[in-house]
């Protein structure tokens, strides 16, 4: 199998109900790191799950059904008290530690996985990208969806630039919950309907 994803979850007993919001908010950091993962082929796991909890944890690794899980001791309440920049760093640090422990446990090439984290840090943990750049029929304009995956939401804009890369139009498309299963279905196909009109179809074709 191929390592393809990483996630952060809460196991906190002192803050019931923290698992979904923590996972959703940390997902912007997880998906940024995922973009740079080396797609390491291995016999153990396609995903790393890092669980954090207030109670003492030994960093023991458990691997089942293609998921390698590790639990770390972290102050979960503190995560929710931080600002957005600090939350990203909190998530990044926990994910890096968890990935290191799992990599060493399974004798994976830690240097390659650490490089993925270095690249995410080089991006200052800002998860933005262009989705499906596409030229119009006359090849004078290029449209793309500008995606911004933040802690609280995923945002998308349709942008159009000329051949010199100058932005000539931008329109907000939608805001969505910052988890892939919520926003991914809305990112279907960028399509020019004529030389001056472009639209984004969702994955159902609508």
pLDDT of residue 134: 97
Residue located via tokens 């995923």: 154
Confidence of residue 56 (pLDDT cuts 50, 70, 90): confident
Mean of pLDDT values over 102-125: 94
**pLDDT (tens digit per residue) in 125-165:** 999 999 999 999 999 999 999 999 999 999 999 999 999 99
Query: Is the separation of the CB atoms in 202 and 188 below 8 Å?
Result: yes
pLDDT of residue 109: 85
pLDDT of residue 141: 97
pLDDT of residue 57: 82
State pTM to two decimals: 0.92
Pairing between β-strand 197-201 and β-strand 61-64 as defined by DSSP bridges? unpaired
Confidence of residue 6 (pLDDT cuts 50, 70, 90): very high
Task: Provide CB contacts within 8 A for 108, sequence distance 6+.
Answer: 3, 40, 42, 44, 102
Query: Is the separation of the CB atoms in 38 and 3 below 8 Å?
Result: yes
Cα–Cα distance, 14 to 199 (Å, whole number): 47
pLDDT of residue 165: 95
Confidence of residue 15 (pLDDT cuts 50, 70, 90): confident
* DSSP codes, 122-163: HTTT-EEEEEEEEE-TTSSEEEEEEEEE-SS-EEEEEEEEET
Assess whether pLDDT exceeds 80 at residue 16: no
pLDDT of residue 87: 98
Q: Give me the half-sphere count of Cα atoms (radius 13 Å) on the Cβ side of residue 3.
A: 28
- Long-range pairs, 199-203, Cβ under 8 A, ≥24: 199/158, 200/145, 200/156, 200/158, 200/173
Q: Which of 138, 186, 185 is nearest to 160 (CA)?
A: 138
Cα–Cα distance, 169 to 68 (Å, whole number): 45
Cα–Cα distance, 191 to 134 (Å, whole number): 8
**pLDDT (tens digit per residue) in 154-200:** 999 999 999 999 999 999 999 999 999 999 999 999 999 999 999 99
């Amino acid at each position: 199998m191929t390592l393809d994803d990483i996630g952060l979850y809460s196991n906190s007993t002192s803050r019931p109900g923290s698992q979904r919001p923590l996972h959703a908010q940390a997902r912007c950091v997880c998906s940024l790191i995922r973009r740079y993962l080396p797609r390491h082929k291995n016999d153990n796991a396609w995903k790393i799950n890092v669980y954090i909890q207030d109670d003492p944890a030994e960093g023991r690794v458990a691997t089942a059904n293609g998921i390698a899980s590790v639990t770390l001791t972290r102050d979960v309440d503190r995560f929710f008290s931080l600002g957005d920049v600090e939350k990203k760093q909190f998530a990044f640090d926990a994910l890096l530690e968890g990935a290191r422990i799992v990599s060493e446990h399974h004798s994976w090439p830690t240097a390659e996985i650490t490089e993925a984290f270095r690249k995410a840090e080089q991006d200052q943990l800002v998860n933005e990208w262009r989705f499906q750049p596409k030229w119009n029929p006359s090849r004078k304009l290029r449209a793309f969806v500008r995606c911004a995956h933040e802690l609280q939401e995923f945002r998308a804009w349709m942008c159009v630039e000329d051949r010199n890369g100058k932005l000539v139009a931008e329109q907000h498309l939608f805001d969505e919950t910052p988890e892939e299963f919520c926003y991914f279905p809305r990112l279907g196909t960028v399509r020019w309907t004529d030389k001056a009109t472009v639209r984004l179809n969702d994955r159902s074709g609508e």
